[in-house]
Structure 1
Amino acid sequence: MNRHVNAISGRLSLRPPQRQSLEILDRITEIVPPRKSTAVSEALELIQSEYPSVTDFERDFPSLCFALATGVGKTRLMGAFVTYLHLAHGINNFFILAPNLTIYNKLIADFTPNTPKYVFKGMAEFVVNQPALITGDNYDQRDPASGSLFGGVRINIFNISKIDSEVRGGKAPKIKRLSEYIGESYFDYLAALPDLVLLMDESHRYRAKAGLRAINELKPVLGLELTATPFVETSKGAIPFNNVIYDYALGRAIADGFVKEPAVVTRKNFNPAGMSKEAIEELKLSDGIRLHEQTKVQLETYARETNREIVKPFVLVIARDTTHAAQLKTLLESDDFFDGGYKGKVIQVDSSKTGAQEEDMINRLLKVEHADEPTEIVIHVNMLKEGWDVTNLYTIVPLRAANARILIEQSIGRGLRLPYGKRVGVTAVDRLNIVAHDKFQEIVDEANRPDSQVRMQTVILDPDELEKKTKTVISQSKLASQLGTIPAQTSTSTTVAPSAEKTVFTTAAEQKVAQAAYTVIKKFESQPDRVPTTHSLANAEVQADMVREVAAAFTPTQLELEGVTEQPDIAAIVKKTAELVVQQTIDIPRILVVPKGEVDSGFKAFELDLSGLNFQPISDELWVQLLRTGTHEVIGLGKGGLKETRLENYVVSGLVDFDDIDYEKHADLLYDLASQTVTHLKGYLSEEQAGKVLWRHQKEIAAFIHAQMQAHYWEDEAVEYEVVISKGFTELKSSAYTATANEEPLDFRVSPKDKSNMAKYLFGGFKRCLYPVQKFDSEAERILAVILDRETEKWFKPAKGLFQIFYRLGADHSEYQPDFVAETADAIYMLEPKKRTALNDADVLAKKDAAENWCENATSYSLKHGGKPWIYRLIPHDTISENMSIDHLGKG
């Protein structure tokens, strides 16, 4: 494998389909170097011998299509292509073609340094010598031959209309007219370059005669086409491209988790019989908006739980025509629709807008991802095609008549991109909803066809549940309430859980001083040598330092500017704030276990169990049937398929990709394992067949061997470890929950009637919990909370990331979050209720070992500083009852 492929893939964080595309380009340029002297017919024959799907370039030059599903990352792949061709083959001139103004502007932004989606981010070669960006707007303003102006790599980005259109009087486009700088047209200058590579975004848009002719006249050494739809729609049906060298279809992207999971939505027991078209439309709109409101809350809750940026979702309504779109906008913004809650939050996107209205429409559309932009509903009539690149579309309501295939293939394309770049395992974040009551069964049937690209999830809405509005409830610690702190981010669906704790400081000035004092206290978290526990905040020197730092921010002049006439007693407020922190906190240290000196580790030699490795011989042409999607692809191997000189190298090169394998240290072991594997394959295959199996299944075989290696991992037992305390105590951060909007928290002392889904309830009424509301995953957890509120000084359910306890299970390192933490007069407990049937599960035992080790280290630290021991208890859920004492829980 070319070293440039590995380097570029790593630095640009390419996804597997992007890397595979780059590997193909590497192989293609190896057998057909990109030169103008190459005969097109000979190039086609060579490429076809290895990639049989390429039967015709469909251009006057070698041109290959990479068909990647929407959302996989075609623009980043363009950046990888440019980088590779420059580094591996010294190519400096690139021409990127856009099909319309939207994509043209987007490409310019993505190839401009210091922009959010800059395609060369991470490539050191382009930090000092940044590629020159030449566009359809500035190409005629400078001499292209001037290296000082255009640099080494020159990237031209043009809209197709700039090169294939004629102007009034039959004149040629401006790019083809004589330039005063170069004595020829810029088009002719480009066509004469010896190393021009053409990249075509959405290449299915360049199959018209004028576009084909203009592209051929550029005479590039190589054409690279990217599209999600590798076919041309005609009156006789879809005509597939003949130059597709790699096809990564939408079904595969969905199955591999690179895009959202599409779902078709209908109502429970929905029957359209007797309903007018208008009534069905209004029902779909209403249900779509209710679903949107739920999604909005769930997205905010997830963001707060994981400390990520809040995503504002929006709804896409597909209208029949501009008249229908205008009617829908009037309806959606009326006082009768959800009590006028969507006034000013709807934009209509279609050809009816001109001038200033059109400009405003485009500006709002381009900013629809921004959290502070009010748009929550976009109505469009066939204008939102390729290039509208958003990640926060979560609900689609199609109201235009269309067959199921068009609804699936065209509608969902705009909403598949994921806001966090990958799926997160939370349904609300990972799913795209298509509300299609009247088309539900038709869409399901179409998705279930054997040749369908997409398998659709189905969502049945319960009208009773749908009517219930939801909200994000932020549960601040009681300490935050006492200090008068409010959450940094709020939205219309955010509610701060009411606390019985009142603000201790009565005036605005006192609250500001208290909050400033708490900010200083949080700095002391990371100074365990000086402030080992919160009780150390009472130390006279620490108090003096806090007073000095707070006073510096509240000088008399500053207070006067803020309208405060009476100087607050800073020393008294700092002292009281420190007392509150002690009362309303359980000291949780941040513990790191690190080795003294170097740690030697590795893998022992062993005999592989290869009985389960039975890949069958494959022909030179593979027919791959995808079970999830029903689609197939033909993969050609050809004569160039075997690239390693030694079969064992396939196994070794696959294994060294794993982070825990050091080639220098493990070379002998790796080749021993590779030799075992090759011997096993050659036991039932010929050498040629074994080579093809190793080439085709390299990653699967490497993963198969790597999994067995984990049982033979060793670490030097003689190495000494030391416990490092990086924090003496840790701030109690807010938790976030999704709850029904109009329902108050339940009394935690009372068992709810429906215990089948405990996680939907929010509970309150605690006396000793450090938070006003909590959620429980089971009835056993609720009962445990009753015990804790009766018997402890303080307790709570920790938010994610508070402890940072990590455990190893196989090759994975994961974070463990205990369910409860409680402090009594004599000890601090870490409590984990579990079903009895799960007590001996491998992951439960691994978590238990990690937690007990953490508690042992925490105890040593705590007792050293006059604190209490930490005790871990794994508690069978069926032993938890209200008559139990905390000391008895989990014993025996």
Structure 2
Amino acid sequence: MAKKKVMRKIELPLVDLLENKRKIDLLSNEKPFIIPEYIKGNLKHQLRPYQNQALVNLDWTQRQPLADYQYNQLLFNMATGSGKTDVLAALILYLYTEFTYHNFLFVVNTNAVVAKTYDNLLNTASPKYLFSQPLTIHGQRIELRSVTRFPSTPEDGVIYLRLATIQTLANELNTPRENGLTYGDLEKQKLIILADEAHHFSAGTKSKEDQKERSWEYVLDRIRQANKHNRQFEFTATLDLQNEAIYQKYRQKIVYRYDLSRFIHQGYSKRVYRLQANNDDENKMLNAVLLSQYRKRIANELKIPDFKPVILFKSNKIAVSKDARTTFLSMISQLNITDLTDFLKHQQNTSHSQALKQAYDYWLSQDLGTAIVELKRDFQAMNTINVNDSAKEGILGDLNDLHNLNTLESSDNPFRVIFAVAKLSEGWDVLNLYDIV
């Protein structure tokens, strides 16, 4: 009989210290760091209380006398969807203004997340751009400038951003070439490393000693150590603290933790429910369509503008996924009042899901002729997208699909249905994905 795995008790001294400090400040009416106007006024999104707290925690660490040694590498362990990139954008403004950091190096492990982050931080034309325009701090216009190398003398009012995959960065630093970044460059000025999806950067911690120099982790360590004022701030929702090596690495470095249970409990996340139906694939698809369109209609009644719930149909093989799309489009085109009425009545009598029964009751009270016209319009072929790339990078592995999938919330993006085989991608920030089938 296999032994039951014993879960370690997670003790995080820095998290506990900062939480106790917050409680003491509240009891004593001490005023902690107040989020400045240059952050609030220059971000498109108003920061939520937990995002503010992440900044308050960071500010305390950076004002300690031994910050260069004690707090030069910190990690934000925050749930997927909780707005880590908003915190990252706020950090850039904060570190530039409070500590005169001009140079920021953003690293991650996939090109898709680099492209998404470019839209977040540098592409002013993107609906995902996170800063207000124009960006001003204390009356001065500030420029965010994309660079491959950091200048020897930074210009006043300019924040320099280098966005790269860790693979590209490691190759560039380990094989110096003309106009490429070198370790020598990184010694001359202080720098902030912003490491996203940071759970990928601990291979050295988990590997044997003789493999460390080849790891991405070692590259980041060497960059951080090139100048005593350098900082490395990491972001991840996925941190395996049950792994002894990972726990020892991060136990004193987690500056803020906001897990999924708190995210859901505080009302910021959709609650995830598993709805089970003993149906064939075609009936599952129709159930998903009816539930999705029910959501859209309710949102319309509640005057929620441009609400477009999206469905993701997952398959185990590309051929199966392609067949599923063909079946789906045929089903939608052949919908008629008689068949839909029979389907709704049968499902109403056999389903055990209260959510689905609510949708069936709704549709049976509506004009199904009008509903079918609406369904055929909303779920026509041009409103479905195939992203059947089985690449390990996930469904954002193909950069041709990146724009379509990262703008699903935009009113001019037509897609209601996605067919996919590859895994869901890190860095896929979409708020209106409601159903996975």
CA distance in 2, matches of 1:126, 1:204: 37
CA distance in 2, matches of 1:105, 1:127: 31
CA apart distance, 1:34: 4.8
Q: 1:368 to 1:153 in 2, by over 3 A?
A: closer
Cα shift readout 1:631-686 (whole Å, capped 9, x = no counterpart) = xxxxxxxxxxxxxxxxxxxxxxxxxxxxxxxxxxxxxxxxxxxxxxxxxxxxxxxx
Given candidates 256, 269, 282, the residue that maps to 1:246 is: 256
Given candidates 319, 322, 329, the residue that maps to 2:325 is: 329
CA distance in 1, matches of 2:291, 2:328: 15
Given candidates 148, 155, 166, the residue that maps to 1:160 is: 166
Asked if 1:5 is matched to 2:35, the reply is: yes
Aligned position for 2:415:
375
Instruction: Write out aligned runs for 1:613-628 (5 A).
Output: none
> What is the aligned residue count?
339
Q: 1:33 to 1:380 in 2, by over 3 A?
A: farther
- Letter paired with 1:297: R
Cα shift readout 1:49-87 (whole Å, capped 9, x = no counterpart) = xxxxxxxxxxxxx32111111222111101211222222
CA distance in 2, matches of 1:351, 1:365: 13
Cα shift readout 1:448-504 (whole Å, capped 9, x = no counterpart) = xxxxxxxxxxxxxxxxxxxxxxxxxxxxxxxxxxxxxxxxxxxxxxxxxxxxxxxxx
Q: 1:4 to 1:336 in 2, by over 3 A?
A: closer
Asked if 1:17 is matched to 2:16, the reply is: no
CA apart distance, 1:101: 1.3
Asked if 1:230 is matched to 2:239, the reply is: yes
Given candidates 302, 308, 314, the residue that maps to 2:310 is: 314
Unaligned 5+ runs, structure 1: 48-61, 166-172, 273-278, 398-892
Q: Any conservation in 2 of the 1:22–1:81 contact (CA below 8 Å)? A: yes
Q: 1:78 to 1:363 in 2, by over 3 A?
A: closer
CA apart distance, 1:4: 6.0
CA distance in 2, matches of 1:358, 1:284: 28
Asked if 1:219 is matched to 2:257, the reply is: no
CA distance in 2, matches of 1:381, 1:32: 51
Given candidates 405, 408, 417, the residue that maps to 1:365 is: 405
CA distance in 2, matches of 1:23, 1:117: 25
Q: 1:313 to 1:224 in 2, by over 3 A?
A: same
Asked if 1:110 is matched to 2:120, the reply is: yes
Aligned position for 2:430:
390
Q: 1:163 to 1:238 in 2, by over 3 A?
A: closer
Q: 1:27 to 1:239 in 2, by over 3 A?
A: closer
Asked if 1:30 is matched to 2:63, the reply is: yes
CA distance in 1, matches of 2:436, 2:297: 17
Q: 1:338 to 1:383 in 2, by over 3 A?
A: farther
Q: Any conservation in 2 of the 1:333–1:346 contact (CA below 8 Å)? A: no
Cα shift readout 1:225-266 (whole Å, capped 9, x = no counterpart) = 1111122898x9997953323210111111112222323324
Asked if 1:191 is matched to 2:229, the reply is: no
Instruction: Write out aligned runs for 1:286-297 (5 A).
Output: 286-297=286-297
Given candidates 378, 383, 405, the residue that maps to 1:345 is: 383
Aligned position for 2:89:
79
Q: 1:237 to 1:245 in 2, by over 3 A?
A: closer
**TM-score, structure 2 normalization:** 0.68
Aligned position for 1:815:
none
Larger radius of gyration: 1
- Letter paired with 1:134: S
Q: Any conservation in 2 of the 1:98–1:202 contact (CA below 8 Å)? A: yes
Provide the alpha-carbon RMSD of the alignment: 3.4
**TM-score, structure 1 normalization:** 0.35
Q: 1:338 to 1:388 in 2, by over 3 A?
A: farther
Asked if 1:134 is matched to 2:141, the reply is: no
Greater percentage in strand: 1
Q: Any conservation in 1 of the 2:312–2:436 contact (CA below 8 Å)? A: yes
Q: Any conservation in 1 of the 2:143–2:159 contact (CA below 8 Å)? A: yes
CA distance in 1, matches of 2:118, 2:298: 35
Q: Any conservation in 2 of the 1:349–1:383 contact (CA below 8 Å)? A: no
1:391 alignment partner, SS class: coil
Q: 1:104 to 1:385 in 2, by over 3 A?
A: same
Q: 1:379 to 1:256 in 2, by over 3 A?
A: same
Q: Any conservation in 1 of the 2:39–2:94 contact (CA below 8 Å)? A: no
Cα shift readout 1:74-124 (whole Å, capped 9, x = no counterpart) = 111012112222222222222111221121111112112634444343863
CA apart distance, 1:361: 3.9
Aligned position for 1:145:
152
- Letter paired with 2:201: Y
Q: Any conservation in 1 of the 2:77–2:259 contact (CA below 8 Å)? A: yes
Identity %, equivalent residues = 22
CA distance in 2, matches of 1:3, 1:65: 19
Cα shift readout 1:346-373 (whole Å, capped 9, x = no counterpart) = 22213269xxx96654443344333343
Aligned position for 1:285:
285
Q: 1:233 to 1:121 in 2, by over 3 A?
A: farther
Aligned position for 2:345:
none
Asked if 1:119 is matched to 2:148, the reply is: no
CA distance in 1, matches of 2:241, 2:401: 30
CA distance in 1, matches of 2:35, 2:175: 37
Greater percentage in helix: 2
Q: Any conservation in 2 of the 1:2–1:26 contact (CA below 8 Å)? A: no
Cα shift readout 1:759-796 (whole Å, capped 9, x = no counterpart) = xxxxxxxxxxxxxxxxxxxxxxxxxxxxxxxxxxxxxx
CA distance in 1, matches of 2:143, 2:410: 29
Aligned position for 2:74:
64
Q: 1:237 to 1:371 in 2, by over 3 A?
A: farther
Cα shift readout 1:387-435 (whole Å, capped 9, x = no counterpart) = 11212212121xxxxxxxxxxxxxxxxxxxxxxxxxxxxxxxxxxxxxx
CA distance in 1, matches of 2:139, 2:317: 48
Q: 1:71 to 1:202 in 2, by over 3 A?
A: same
- Letter paired with 1:19: N
CA distance in 2, matches of 1:262, 1:127: 45
Aligned position for 2:11:
none
CA distance in 2, matches of 1:19, 1:361: 33
- Letter paired with 1:155: L
CA apart distance, 1:375: 2.0
- Letter paired with 1:211: W
Instruction: Write out aligned runs for 1:684-695 (5 A).
Output: none
Instruction: Write out aligned runs for 1:530-541 (5 A).
Output: none
CA apart distance, 1:26: 1.0
Aligned position for 2:176:
177
- Letter paired with 1:223: Q
CA distance in 2, matches of 1:92, 1:233: 37
Q: 1:160 to 1:89 in 2, by over 3 A?
A: same
CA distance in 1, matches of 2:100, 2:289: 54
2:298 alignment partner, SS class: helix
RCO (CA 8 Å, sep 6+): is it higher in 1 or 2? 2
Aligned position for 1:204:
199
Q: Any conservation in 1 of the 2:146–2:160 contact (CA below 8 Å)? A: yes
Q: Any conservation in 1 of the 2:309–2:434 contact (CA below 8 Å)? A: yes
1:22 alignment partner, SS class: helix
Aligned position for 1:435:
none
CA distance in 1, matches of 2:328, 2:181: 50
